[in-house]
Amino acid sequence: MDFITIGNVKIEKSCALSPMASVADRAYRELCREYGASYLCSEMVSAKGLCYGGAGSLELCEVHNEERPYAVQLFGEEPEYMAKAVEIVNRFKPDVIDINMGCPVAKVVNTGGGSALMKTPELAAELVKAAVSRADCPVTVKFRAGWDQTNINAVPFGIMMEQAGAAALAVHPRTKTQMYSGHSDWSVIKAVKDAVGIPVIGNGDISNGEDAAKMYSETGCDLVSLARASNGRPWVFEQIKRYLETGEVLPEPSLEERLSVMLNHAERIVGYKGEAQGVREARKNVAWYLKGVRGAAKYRNMSDTLNTLDDIRRLAEEVYRNAPL
């Protein structure tokens, strides 16, 4: 397996886990790492929240050695807060600090952060300069193709981010207005890669090894990453790595294996967050793991009522008992 470097950080050139707010927590990241994810990133952390000493924001910055190479991702729209936030993040010694300029969610965009920064590239560049001036590690930027189909500006935006000091770029080639719908335009990733001299991470519509190999081939990107395709399928990273190394297509795990991973995942969440909060947060993961099984709609509804680990174990037993022979 080949490697890329971001600054002085060495990363296996297989497949990374993209950041996902309220999904890619420590338990999720650990599983994905164990299945071969080559690079991990924290959930989004508010730069301003850090500066105000928010306990939740500080907790999201924690770095665990088993997750390295690892990035902490910040979002915000004010350079002075970004600089102060980076100083705080330095204490946790991440391998990389990433700035989110791609989130399309209203509560982030409406403040001028996330993908709204694609409409204000000069401000985006100031945010990068502020972060780079204080960071003890490489600073990267994740962004989208543009605001909408009439404003595709990923190439000039990426060039500005490189000039501002970014060590790598991650490109999700959908527009803000697309959110997560429709198809991503991989030609945008290629255009950015052709225009800059720093590593480019490609993201969008990868769900298996063939997709990953195709993105590498068509775009020339330095690393691929995925997010939603790993929901309920952390083993996808092992499948991608094996395909890239050997061309072998690994099968999906058996139902018994899938349920075992589901329980393992839920137990880890509870271990970190306690049973009450952990099981509430595990509900969505349970629904993802059960997608496609016989009676999935019924089980998805049942997952919304889970309150204890034993509830999850009983559900797993029912799913297995009712599976076709």
The residues annotated with a catalytic role in the active site are 103
Residue 38 is encoded by which pair of tokens?
Answer: 């080559």
The strand pairing partners of 226, in sequence order, are 17
Other CB atoms within 10 A of residue 206 CB: 26
Cα–Cα distance, 292 to 54 (Å, whole number): 40
9-12 and 168-175 beta bridge pairing: unpaired
Q: What distances in angstroms separate CA 34 from CA 25, 40, 234, 247, 263, one per listed residue?
A: 14, 11, 9, 21, 15
The strand pairing partners of 224, in sequence order, are 15, 202
Cα angle 40, 66, 1; round to 5: 65
* Three-class SS state of 74: strand
**Contact call for residues 299 and 293 (beta carbons, < 8 A):** yes
At residue 228, what are phi and psi to the nearest 5 degrees? -60, -30
Q: What is the DSSP letter of 307?
A: -
Place of tokens 């880890």: 268
